[in-house]
A and B are shown apart, each in its own frame.
Chain A
């Protein structure tokens, strides 16, 4: 396989749309470990149809499609110990953080502006700050306006679940077919350590009673969604010493109630964020602790491993955030939807994906046929599209894949600071990147200079740009076959 012969530029006649070309040329990756990344051939076609262009519900889709969040529903009915409602920072990327709140009309203009410029856009989500189900009128008004203008955009919400049962019927009516519920406990005693209070039925509840009500509403909401065939993702914040072991129980409960995916996320805790946990010194889990828990959860509800814990107003592919480009000040007062870029991109992706599925399957065969008992951890830099197409110095994250006799699977990502800024590499940053790549055997990128290559080699990590623009799996299979001493016949067709 090779770089695609056609680009979005050639289809749309635009030359300035860097992002379109970058996205398509970058190619897609594939994985088999992450529940959402299963191949179409072992998945119910109706479900595949729902997730194939949702980057958060399908690991495979996240290489091709982008989401955007609009912060239209700032009111919330639950106080969580990991949330500070006063927080607002343009340079932070984590859930609940947002630069400007939008009215439904402002949100519509922003969505149209993004849809006109970001061809990968497939999903509009309302994900805080605040709760999309509690601040319902604004959520509903936004979805109705956007669906009217851009009928094929997927609508998605994220909620704490407390008000969810009141709105399941309306969600179904509005064709919202993806819902994320944050469920951190199924035991109210544990819940009382996470939620100081809730506002429910016109009064404030605290302690175990609050957690019990929240738990019952979450379970009931989840069951109602499952009954209607609305796909659900359960987000759980892993809080060491509070609910870490307990999340195994949570996974069982949500699986029994039809959850489609379970996403275990690390607590983000810093005194500077002003959250209760931040101020009281509650630590977040180490990456190794998250991975250990995720591994123990294999076999339960399927796991999402490609979450980037994005901002509440994020725009773009999961690894990137272009939200700043579409601030209200930059969106015209009147704007008309032009779907041409999105349509052209979709056609191209449909073609590209078939090619990718084939390449991926061939690559997995190569790895299995290598007859080696080895496991290899490979870190890849990509701009999307499932290809090795990002320069080492431009990468803000590495996608990590495991190659073993079982095949090739996506295992997660590691965030780093960008090494190359304005043409110069920074030594201190490089040290950080080498540290972040601990345990990695091979780094694959589109281009890498001698200096970082040598420093990685000194740390026992081999870096290569020999597979630039290949599909990620194809490149990995070639590396794996070479490391096993087997011929890499199908690897670089």
Chain B
């Protein structure tokens, strides 16, 4: 149960990184990635996944 980032669509704005309540998103190599072990899909924190809600590109932060 985790989200992932489609790297080819990502604009690398980094909003998801600081919105993530679990600290699960980091810049690794040349892309932002979601560490699946840390991702909670925001359950218990927010109603909607923060990464997907703030991401400017549709279908870029999606269920893994």
Contact = CB atoms under 8 A, between A and B. Distances in A.
A357 B40 CA distance: 64
Contacts of B19: 202
B54 A130 contact: no
B50 A74 contact: no
A129 B53 CA distance: 19
Contacts of A199: 15, 53-54
Interface string B40-64: 0000001110100110110000000
Contacts of B46: 202-203
Given A203-B47, A204-B48, A86 B57 contact: yes
A203 B48 contact: yes
Interface stretch (A75-83, A117-125, A389-397, A427-435): A75-83
A137 interface: yes
Contacts, number: 44
B13 interface: yes
B14 A75 contact: yes
A204 B56 contact: no
B56 A137 contact: no
Range class of the A interface residue count: 10 to 19
B53 A204 contact: yes
A137 to B, nearest CB: 7
B51 to A, nearest CB: 11
A451 B12 CA distance: 50
Range class of the B interface residue count: 10 to 19
Given A137-B18, A203-B46, A203-B48, A74 B54 contact: no
Nearest to B45: A202
B13 A74 contact: yes
A75 B15 contact: yes
A199 B48 CA distance: 11
B13 A130 contact: yes
Interface string B1-35: 00000000001111100110000000000000000
B19 to A, nearest CB: 8
Contacts of A74: 11-14
A145 interface: no
B49 to A, nearest CB: 10
A203 B15 contact: no
19 contacts: A74-B13, A75-B54, A76-B56, A77-B15, A79-B56, A85-B11, A85-B13, A85-B56, A85-B57, A86-B11, A129-B13, A130-B13, A134-B15, A199-B15, A202-B46, A202-B48, A202-B50, A203-B53, A204-B53
Given A75-B13, A77-B54, 18 more contacts: A79-B56, A85-B11, A85-B13, A86-B57, A129-B13, A135-B13, A135-B14, A135-B15, A137-B18, A199-B15, A199-B53, A202-B46, A202-B48, A202-B50, A202-B53, A203-B47, A203-B53, A204-B54
Interface of B: 11-15, 18-19, 46-48, 50, 53-54, 56-57
Identify the 3 closest CB pairs spanning chains A and B, nearest first.
A75-B15, A85-B56, A74-B13
